[in-house]
Structure 1
Amino acid sequence: MTDRQDDVPAELDSAAGEGAFAPGGEIMGHPTGLFFLFFAELWERFSFYGMRALLTLYLATELFKDVADGKTIAYEIYAAYGSLVYFTPALGGMIADRVIGHKNSIMLGALLMTIGHFTMAFESESIFYLSLGLLIIGNGFFKPNISSLVGGLYREGDTRRDGGFTIFYLGINLGAFMAPLACGYLGENYGWHYGFSAAGIGMFIGLLVFWYGRVKGIYGEQGEQPLAYASKNLGGINVRYLVYALSFLSVPLFAMLVSKSELTVFGSTGLLQFLLISLLILVLVYLTYVCVVSDKITRDRLIVVVVLTFFVTVFWAFFEQAGSSLTLFAEEQVRLVGLNASQTNAINPFYIVALAIPFSMMWNKLESKKMNPNTMIKFGLGIGQLGVGFLVFALSARFMDDEGKVGMIFLLVGYLLITSGELFLSPIGLSKVTELSPAKLVAFMMGVWFLSSSFAHYIAGLIAKLTTGGGHGEGEASEAVAEVVAEPSVMASLARWITGASADEAATASAANLLNYTSVFAQIAIISFVVAAIALLISPIIKRMMHGIR
């Protein structure tokens, strides 16, 4: 199969329905290509989560350790990086669909990220920001397109699809599990830049695995460069090479956005907000056009993707406290056993590694009994479990010791619950985006799906900043953050009831710090329950709009 060259037609085929195939036979009942993509994604996620596990701690305890508000700056940079690294996939998906193809995009993205991780080994602040710029651009080309290739391995209606994406998700989290243990150990015992270098080695292995699968034709003909652009030149240069060159040239721009995060994220310029809103408007305008020229089934399914993207944005906005406030919560307030704070980032992927196959089997078993819940119900249940997990984090305040610290059991149980919620939502969402999206737009729609993480990281940064003072003593910025999370008079009272006290009543500074954290976690739990209820209520409507896809 080669990519179709016509403009967006009035009727668009399903992404999975066009050219789905299983070149090279099957392994464990799934296309062989799934397992090559599994290992490529495993090592890419090893690099991503290895760096993420170190980033906030490195910024707060090393790069800005002598700065009065170092923790706040660390949150700002983490929010800027997290937002931008998921800002670019919508652009990368569109460029891949229309210009250079999915496979070329994956190779380009992997190369950029490999360079970005290795350059972080240099102890230079300016090179550090350039490295983040390389990772941001690279992820934009890599992330939406590898998921699109997975979707292309299954035909529409193939009951193996959800199970296949759960297996793929297992690869993501094997990498995410190994990374904090390895990179966190090297970073905290031998030096931060050794940990960053280990992440680079993982990314290079992922690049080699994908390249080998491509050379062997494991992925078939899907994802090749569209014929209309394969021989197209601009100024005597092939358009593909122009995309490559512009990708590298854009790195300093994104490095600058991260380095000026105090202005671009929460500051007066609001540059990041402007970029996010501008891209959102462009995406909505383009989707509106596609809906207008499409048939009713395609239009309804695209609307469902948008609705699912909204709910997953809420989920990730809360879940992404794992890379920021939950990491520092573990460092400052939890009596850790056997793990350091950066290594606690391995708890979530460990649970996913343990639970992914049982969940995949569970969905298949429920399907055989015609009891498999529809996608919207799964989303509601997943967000509800996230809420219960944060409720456990919040309740830990009732069991603090004399030093204002809590047992590690609360961290383990809370992570178990938010992980089970993730398995109800994230791999299912990946599967449905590829199944609901038209073939010509599958990578773009996957980019839209990941755009949710961009907004989520921005919101997560706002929430994380609230944990530095709970809305008290941080000046106008903290009060603004409090207003984002909830209306203080109602939510603060509920949070106090859950945690048992307010930060103002704490006997020690450590206890006050704990209550700042748990007050925010309590508010997250309450909002999660409300959003979960909404998802469950609208599930019959969403089910009808999916037109036979569950």
Structure 2
Amino acid sequence: METTIEQIQDFKGKYPKQLWYLFFSEMWERFSFYGMRGMLAVFMVSQLNMSETTANLQYGATQAWVYAFTFIGGLFADKILGLRRSLFWGGILMIIGSIILAISPKDLFFTGIGFTIVGTGFFKPNISSMVGQLYRDNDTRRDAGFSLFYAGVNLGALIGGYICIAVANGNLWSSFVAENLRWNYAFGFASIVMIVSLLTFTQTQKSLGEIGLSPLAHMEVSKRKALEIATYIASIIFIPIIIKMVANTTYTDYFMMIIGPLSVVYLFYEMKNFSTAENLKLLAALIFIIFSIFFWAFFEQSGGSLSLFAANNLQNTVLGVKLDPNGVNNSANSLFVIVFAALVGMVWIWMAKKKIEPNTVVKFGLGFLFLAGGFWVFYYTKFFAGPDGKTSLDLFTLGWFVITFGELCLSPIGMSAMTKLSPQKTQAVIMGMWFLASAYGQYFAGLLGAGIAEASKNATNLEKLNTYADGYQQLALYALVAGVVLIVISPLVRKLMQDVK
């Protein structure tokens, strides 16, 4: 007999066993995703001969589409496919995309990216929604569960984020990988681990009971199959459109002007089906979503301007150990999350027992304050630079250490809050909006990074370092203001959240 939802939610201890299965599936998927993400800006500059300004804009557009499509993927999962089929279909498309990039990264770059964008949209929001359904509504262990799940995300990001770019740069396994095939191998690793991710999920999904099954189970089988097949066909037809729009960032500008307002309108349309109390919670979720845009706009400099900063302006040792600077930029944050995520989760549980746990709004505010501190450290690297414009990788790594605590205060808590504040019938859509906020963050990250790159155009390496560092000082100031505002308005938002902690 299949496990019932009640049996799953009545688990003993800190974590349900199903969380571990989802943990490993997500871990390998994130290896693939962050491995490729960490290569994009450097690949576009060094292999496609784009300017740093264009590469920042292109990076922002590409990542914006990745996260924007999670809203669409969440919508189709809620209405037609169900969480599981949506996840499986997304995984297949991601595998195809990464294989295309492994075969011919230069000639088929945008084709491979198009497949991975649509695939990620179907995969990413739904596995997070399944994690939320492992817990009862008022289970205080939920935040700790999401923190552990987030550690799985970052374990994949750590391994993939370092290995892929280090191999591509020739700083890892250079005796094994031929120089002319470095980028092919780097993208190839992403395809292999994505296959592992999908196999992990398919072999363990029976333990999920009824979680993630088709929302159309009541419908006649032939009609349900027709809708599912139509969804698969439509997503494939949409891929060439995505490829065209990603390749031309002007189309991305138009899309971002439209999709956000439309998603909010759709949310208000859905709200007519819920009670006043449920709608107030959805308004609180919307406030978190809006503030998260600003957080990710700063944080996601990691794949854009910070990636190019690492390539041009960082030394190659951490505590005396020789490392790839790009690899450190892509993976240091993930390493710190792995080390501290479970600890932070246990701190929340301890504080909850003592009735002194800060509410979700204050946690968000703290996230911005840590973010501000980390970017201030990035700014401060300018004072340790040599005449060649190279500065301390140790200090740069410290900046990521500080930012990590900001991320742990916001991202896993944010995912948990989305599942607690939204009615189950619209959870995948709300999770999609959460990732849509990330899309806007990525989009604005590209614009911010392009602005910094444009200001340093035709500069010496030392002048470029100072321009980038001064830009990070401005971001630190903006993050500080956002954090203070969140903490000030926390009593108002808490009223909207009602019984949700």
Checking the alignment, whether the CA contact within 8 Å between 1:121 and 1:196 is kept in structure 2 is: yes
Hey, what does 2:203 align to over in structure 1? 212
Listed as ranges, the matches of 1:95-244 within 5 Å are: 95-123=76-104, 125-189=106-170, 190=177, 191-214=182-205, 217-227=206-216, 231=220, 238-244=226-232
CA distance in 2, matches of 1:535, 1:112: 39
Give the direction of change, closer, same or farther, for the CA distance of 1:192–1:22 in structure 2 (3 Å limit).
Answer: farther
Q: Deviations over 1:483-519 (max 9, x none)?
A: xxxxxxxxxxxxxxxxxxxxxxxxx822210111011
Q: CA deviation at 1:365?
A: 0.7
Q: What letter corresponds to residue 290 of structure 2 in structure 1?
A: F
Q: Is the Cα contact below 8 Å between 1:232 and 1:239 reproduced in 2?
A: no
Unaligned runs of 5+ in 1: 3-18, 265-270, 475-507
Q: Does residue 540 of the first structure (1) align with residue 482 of the second (2)?
A: no
User: Match of 2:403?
Assistant: 418
Indicate the larger mover: 370-379 or 49-58: 49-58
* Residue 77 (str. 1) matches residue 58 (str. 2): yes
**1:45 counterpart (30, 37, 43):** 30
| SS class of match (2:108) | helix
TM-score by length of 1: 0.85
Q: Does 1:303 align with 2:291?
A: no
Q: Return the alpha-carbon distance in structure 1 between the equivalents of residues 461 and 409 of structure 2.
A: 36
Matches of 2:337 and 2:273, distance apart in 1: 40
- Equivalents in 2 of 1:204, 1:21: separation in Å? 31
Q: Higher mean Cα deviation, 114-123 or 379-388?
A: 114-123
Q: What is the alpha-carbon distance in structure 2 between the residues aligned to residue 405 and residue 276 of structure 1? A: 36
Partner of 1:287: 267
In structure 2, how many angstroms separate the alpha carbons of the residues matched to 1:521 and 1:308?
24
Q: How far did residue 71 of structure 1 move? A: 1.8
Q: Which has the higher helix share?
A: 2
Residue pair 2:27, 2:156 contacting (<8 A) in 1 also: yes
How far the C-alpha of 1:409 sits from its partner, in A, is 2.1
Distance in 2, matches of 1:429 and 1:122, equals 37
Alpha-carbon distance change, 374 to 24 in structure 1, aligned in 2, over 3 angstroms = closer
Asked if 1 retains the 8 angstrom alpha-carbon contact of 2:28 and 2:196, the reply is: yes
1:20 positional shift: 4.9
Shift of 1:56: 1.1
Alpha-carbon separation, structure 2, partners of 1:535 and 1:316: 15
Shift of residue 454, structure 1, vs aligned partner: 0.8
| Distance in structure 2 (CA, Å) of the matches to 1:34 and 1:285 | 33
For 1:456, the equivalent position in structure 2 comes to 441
SS in 1 for 2:47: helix
| Matches of 1:125 and 1:398, distance apart in 2 | 38
Q: Structure 1 residue 340 and structure 2 residue 324: aligned? A: yes
Aligned with 1:509 (options 460, 467, 473): 460
Q: Give the AA of the match of 1:419.
A: T
Give the match for residue 313 of structure 1: 293
2:195 and 2:120 map into 1 onto residues whose CA distance is 14
Residues 315 and 325, structure 2, Cα contact 8 Å, conserved in 1:
no
CA–CA distance in structure 2, aligned partners of residues 120 and 232 of structure 1: 37
Deviation digits for residues 296-339 of structure 1 (CA, Å, limit 9, x no counterpart): 21011000110000111110000000111111111111112122
Distance 1:342-1:22 versus aligned 2 partners, 3 A rule: farther
Report the aligned-residue RMSD: 2.0
Deviations 1:260-309 (A, max 9, x none): 23xx2xxxxxx212222322222121221233442221011000110000
| DSSP-derived class of the 1:101 partner | helix
**Match of 2:18, as an amino acid?**
G
Secondary structure at the counterpart of residue 356 of structure 1: helix
SS in 2 for 1:467: helix
1:377 equivalent among 327, 340, 362: 362
Which of the numbers 326, 329, 343 marks the counterpart of 2:309? 329
Asked if 2 retains the 8 angstrom alpha-carbon contact of 1:101 and 1:226, the reply is yes
User: Residue 258 of structure 1 is aligned with which of 229, 246, 267?
Assistant: 246
Q: What is the letter of the counterpart of residue 106 of structure 1?
A: L
The alignment of Structure 1 onto Structure 2 pairs a total of residues equal to 485
